[in-house]
Amino acid sequence: MRLEELKSSRSKPSQPGGVLVCPKCGEKNTDDARACKACKQSLYINCAVCGHENLRASPRCISCTHHLRPTIGRQLRKWVFEKHGMLILKVMLVLGVSFVAAHVILKVAEVEPAEPKEKATTTGDAKFKPAPNAPEMVNLEPKVTPTSKKPAAKPGAPATENDPLEGWRERYCAATVANGIVTVTGKALNKKNPSITGPFLASYGSKFSVGPGAIKFRVRSAAGGPGKVELLPSGTDSDPTGMKTMPFTTTGGDWQEVNVPIPYPGPYGMIRLYLPMQAQTVDVDWIEVVSTGKFRRYDF
């Protein structure tokens, strides 16, 4: 019944006396007019669903009751998805990327930054670890302490298969690692370099350390003898004139710990460890490099 009343009311002029009022400008037109005589706006509109012709002032089609003008919700959806859909998509994409980036940054900020990596020859840096209380340097004379037992536990990460010396390099010697012990055997020297006085182990692993400090190691040899530690300060690695030399002496027999102070206050560069191995093999259990605020141990 409601549909019939709607059809009957919408099929007649909207005003009595055969008058059609323009919904745009309000001008009164005759009932047979197709367009407003004032603004030229069409007085009729076709339904988008069934195609039936309706008065433009009618809210619904008199045939199928479909809305002749879009509702606010439809207008909003059209505005969002047809006119500004791409812009909204871009904004959502930027917000999503920003959220992920912020999450990653916060995760990275929670991780303690690692020390700067050295060249390919300094893979021992990954083995270094700080000690909260590095020992203070009191006596600057080398100290040799005999020890009969090997420490029960060794701190630090184990050596890798590709780098058993943990960053130390053989120079005019051969070094093999077995059961946590490095056995060093000397070789013939290269006479072209007068700054080299014997076989030694070299390390760039302390390049970011700052003295004064010390180098400590546990060593065993059959006859013992003199040795020395040479420090090339950072930035003078290729200039032997800036070399700092600290001698020491070991005795033959059982294991002993050697403590060689390094009084140099500047940043370390390359460290050379000359062991008394010209005519014998020497075993090394571990090496420690102590500097201001840092403690680095090589357990092999």
Beta strand 173-178 pairing with 224-232: unpaired
Neighbouring C-beta atoms of residue 267, cutoff 10 Å? 16
The total number of residues shown for the chain amounts to: 300
Q: Note the pLDDT of residue 274.
A: 93
| Tokens standing for residue 204 | 């760039």
Beta strand 244-251 pairing with 200-203: unpaired
Q: Note the pLDDT of residue 19.
A: 85
Phi and psi for 260 in degrees, rounded to 5?
Answer: -110, 110
Q: Note the pLDDT of residue 184.
A: 94
What is the mean pLDDT of each successive set of 10 residues along the chain, which is 300 residues long? 48 58 88 88 87 85 82 72 74 90 79 47 44 48 65 49 86 91 87 80 72 91 91 66 86 92 83 84 92 83
What domains sit in the chain, N to C, each tagged with a CATH number? 1-77 (no CATH), 123-298 (2.60.120.430)
Q: Is 209 strand, coil or helix?
A: coil
Q: Note the pLDDT of residue 111.
A: 52
Ranges of H-type helices in the chain: 2-10, 72-78, 85-109
Q: Note the pLDDT of residue 273.
A: 93
Q: Note the pLDDT of residue 237.
A: 53
